[in-house]
Amino acid sequence: MKTNASRAHSKPWPLAALVIAAAALAGCGGGGGDDGTAAALAGGWAQATSAGIALETALATIPASALSFDEMNSLSFMREEEKLARDVYAQMFSRWGLGVFSNIGASEQAHMDAVLLLLTRYALPDPAATTLPGQFGNAALQALYDALLASGSTSLVNALLAGAEIEDVDIRDLRAIKAKIDNADLLLVYDNLEKGSRNHLRAFHANLAAQGVEYTPKYITQAEYDAIVNSPHERG
Identify whether 118 is part of a domain. Answer: yes
- pLDDT score, position 74: 98
47: containing domain = 13-229
Identify whether 6 is part of a domain. Answer: no
- pLDDT score, position 67: 96
Question: Please, what is the average pLDDT of the chain?
Answer: 83
CA distance 84 to 79: 9
Predicted structure pTM score: 0.79
CATH number at residue 166: 1.20.1260.10
Identify whether 4 is part of a domain. Answer: no
CA distance 141 to 99: 25
Q: Is residue 4's pLDDT more than 50?
A: no
- pLDDT score, position 22: 31
Considering its fold, how many domains does the chain have in total?
A: 1
**Which residues, 6+ apart, have CB-to-CB distance to 34 below 8 Å?**
none
> Any bridge partners for residue 68, and if so which?
2
Digit-coded pLDDT (tens) for 38-51: 444 444 445 555 56
- pLDDT score, position 54: 75
Q: Select from 178, 177, 169, 180 the least CA-distant residue to 147.
A: 169
- pLDDT score, position 59: 83
